[in-house]
Amino acid sequence: MSKGSRHAPRKDDHIFYSLQPDSQFASKTTWLECVELVHNALPEIDLSQVSLTSEFLGFKLRAPLLIAGMTGGTNLAKKLNKMFAMAAEELGVALGVGSQRVALEAPEVMETFSIVREVAVSVPVIANIGASQLVEGLSSDTMGVLVDMVDADAIAVHLNPLQEALQIEGEAKYAGLIKQLELLVKQSPVPVIVKETGAGVSREVAEILATMGIYGVDVGGAGGTSFARIEGARALAKGDRMLLRLSEDFAEWGIPTAASIIEVRNASGKLAIVATGGLRNGIDAAKALRLGADTCGFAYPVLRAAFEGGYEGVLNYVRRVMEGLRRALFLTGARNIGEIRRVPVVIGGKLREWVEFRGLKLP
Ligand SMILES: Cc1cc2nc3c(=O)[nH]c(=O)nc-3n(C[C@H](O)[C@H](O)[C@H](O)COP(=O)(O)O)c2cc1C
């Protein structure tokens, strides 16, 4: 099934393990359920008048949505990336690819990534590389290869210290990363997005990132896909009992997505915020936007939709999110994405405690 680099089989592993029901956080949630958008019984607008258009990376999107970066490097990944790209192009939403490390090591798999640009010609595409490659230093030539491979409009650097610390082949090397990130931002021909992958970004981290001149942060918060759980399943299959136990211990680790959005927004009013991590429908997206996100990303549910329903499944899923978001705007009386950011909201439970304890302000 896979060809090329020694990393390729791991990419398919991640796809299969992430499709198992226990790949998701179990007791910790996104805390979006602590956010109540106040219902407006007199919205004074027609549903058909609601506009979802938004700006992202200089593009006008039909809705502030992103099919988050997941895969590349194998034949299966190529099929998935093509499906995701077709849906993004059809619906006018943004698109990410998975880590391109595998294609740096085995150039023959570049086409499993570049396929997205052949299909998604008019929407923003985000390249992707991991912190553990960056920490070793990325030459500007290599940066160019990553960007050119998908004719990217931005590059995402993913931070996954939790996953690296629990992965059998993990490279939990983060010393010196800040300096390398600064260098990358200076050298990059396209805007840089720094993203987590399921454990969230704090205000303190976002403050450091904001000084570097990056374009945005994808909070990649807790409450959806849990890479501790995915690595735990891989450790079980490989018979590594210590990593299995450690993965269980850390299965619920991380900053819930709702809290992370507020954390990052408190660090900077200027950073573009992408919200991924446990968003599952249009109401989740509306709440994330109200808390300060600019664009809402979906990974696991899109992958699931692809496996259950192919291209039609992906299309229908993203459409459902879009139409849910449209209705959430209608029911709060918001005409557009700007207005959803100002609708009345009530915050309770753990999110309220977190916000108060951390001294954060709600936008
Ligand atoms: C199978 C799979 C592979 C992923 N691979 C990457 C990756 O290579 N690079 C990256 O930045 N994020 C990766 N992610 C993380 C997602 O982009 C996203 O931040 C995270 O899954 C949380 O969103 P979700 O709860 O909607 O899945 C991956 C997610 C999944 C499910």
Give the ligand 1 atom nearest the CA of 24. Answer: 25
Of 348, 294, 341, the C-alpha closest to 64 is 294
CA nearest to 88, candidates 257, 340, 277, 322: 322
* CB of 300 sitting under 6 A from ligand 1: yes
- CATH number, domain of 180, equals 3.20.20.70
Is 22 within a domain? Answer: no
Confidence of residue 7 (pLDDT cuts 50, 70, 90): low
* 1 located within any domain: no
Q: What is the mean pLDDT of the chain?
A: 95
Q: What is the pLDDT of residue 221?
A: 98
Asked if residue 195 belongs to a domain, the reply is yes
For residue 363, being part of any structural domain is answered with no
Whether residue 155 is contained in a domain is answered as yes
* pLDDT in the model for residue 137: 87
Probe residue for ligand 1, chosen from 194, 201, 276, 318 as the CB with the greatest number of ligand atoms within 8 Å: 276
Structural domain contains residue 65: yes
Looking at residue 8, its pLDDT comes to: 59
Confidence of residue 13 (pLDDT cuts 50, 70, 90): confident
Asked whether residue 21 is assigned to any structural domain, the reply reads no
Instruction: Work out the number of other CB atoms within 10 angstroms of the CB of residue 14.
Output: 23
Domain that holds residue 252: 8-13+29-357
Cα 349 to middle of ligand 1, angstroms: 27
pTM above 0.85, yes or no: yes
Report the C-alpha gap between 132 and 278 in whole angstroms. 24
Pocket test for ligand 1, best of 70, 74, 100, 163 (most atoms within 8 A of CB): 70
Closest atom of ligand 1 to 224 CA is: 25
pLDDT of 21 reads 81
Q: How many structural domains are present in the chain? A: 1
User: Per-residue DSSP letters for 121-150?
Assistant: -SS-EEEEEEHHHHTT---HHHHHHHHHHT
In short, whether 222's Cβ falls inside 6 Å of ligand 1 is: no
